[in-house]
Amino acid sequence: MDFSLNAEQQQFRDTLRRFVDKEIIPVAAEWEHSGRYPTEIVAHMREMGLFGITTPERYGGIALDMVSFALVYEEISRGWMGIAGILGSHNLACWTVARHGTEEQRERFLPNMASGEWRSGIGLTEPGAGSDLQGIRTTARRDGDVYVVNGTKMWITNARHAAVLPVLVKTDPTTTPAHRGMSLLLIETDTPGFSVSRDLGKIGYKGTESCELVLEDVRVPVENLLGGVEGRGMQQALSGLETGRINIAARAVGVAQAAYDAALDYARQREAFGKPIAEFQAVQLKLADIATRLQAARLLTYWAASKADSGARVDAESGMAKYFASETAIDAALEAMRIHGGYGYSTEFVVERLYRDAPLMAIGEGTNDILRTVIAKSLVAGTTLIG
């Protein structure tokens, strides 16, 4: 067993780390609190090719292995988790088009998406349908050579900057079970009837917008039906979420790493009763707990990523990684805040942002409670073996 990165992955991580240390960390606190959009950071990520990490090379991407994919989100989230969100939804959309699109759709959309010239996200969640995607109400009625789409989508990342969005719709609302009547449509955002109605306020996960979309009689060409066949949208979306959970797990590892770094640095510098608080056993125990769980979460994430590279299904493995890593990030952020004492509650220290960002990973790409049932069903069915 080899638990280390190979030479190419180490070099890639070092490049990412230098970028984060130079371009993201110095501005993260100020821009996050002011609500300033990270335009310059996005431009640099485009130059680095990070908008094409899930796109095959033949369509202009760099098609990273899944461990390197995880490194992108880990390192960027160490600096500012909201920036990772800009890439996350976009690269999920690219992966979905590359995996399930027709050749014409790949050639038409992926080159501009991989370069970052066209931004994207994915339109799944609705006001009354989050974890229960079969409960969506957005419909797409066939009218000759177009679909007429009506509905509302919520919590859509990159909505204001997207050129095209894969949107989950019901092409046949009468079918039972409901997923057999669901499809993904590639909706171009300049189509009449497509509008971003509002930005949704959040306690954390800033730097990228999360929006409500309204679709009113949006006429989408039939050739924008992902894969060209109706009724496959649910399966297409769920297959993307498998890799999406590796993204979320890696983000959580990055947040936990930032919490650990901040806690350790502060404990070494802060003095009480004539010595650094790092010399007090109570603080040492907290640092040991954070470090141990952090490394376990990282290895679990890389394990899931490595298995995804083999071509196997990783719904249970990515679920385990996302579940454990996100809970670790929440605990690490809270313990780092406690180590900082009163200063941990101050906006001048990074731990208050980590404390606000961490809970999102327990919610996004499937809540942790739902993922625990996904893991359990895989174990009971014998499709995932432990030991």
- The residues carrying an active-site annotation are 365
Question: Hunting for tokens 């297409």 — which residue is that?
Answer: 236
CA distance 367 to 322: 10
Spatial contact of 66 and 309, defined as CB atoms under 8 Å apart: yes
Pairing of strands 146-157, 194-199: unpaired
Spatial contact of 355 and 332, defined as CB atoms under 8 Å apart: no
Spatial contact of 57 and 106, defined as CB atoms under 8 Å apart: no
Q: Assign residue 192 a region (left: φ > 0; alpha: ψ between -120 and 50; beta: otherwise).
A: beta
Question: Hunting for tokens 């989050």 — which residue is that?
Answer: 130
Backbone angles phi, psi at 312, to 5 degrees: -80, 160
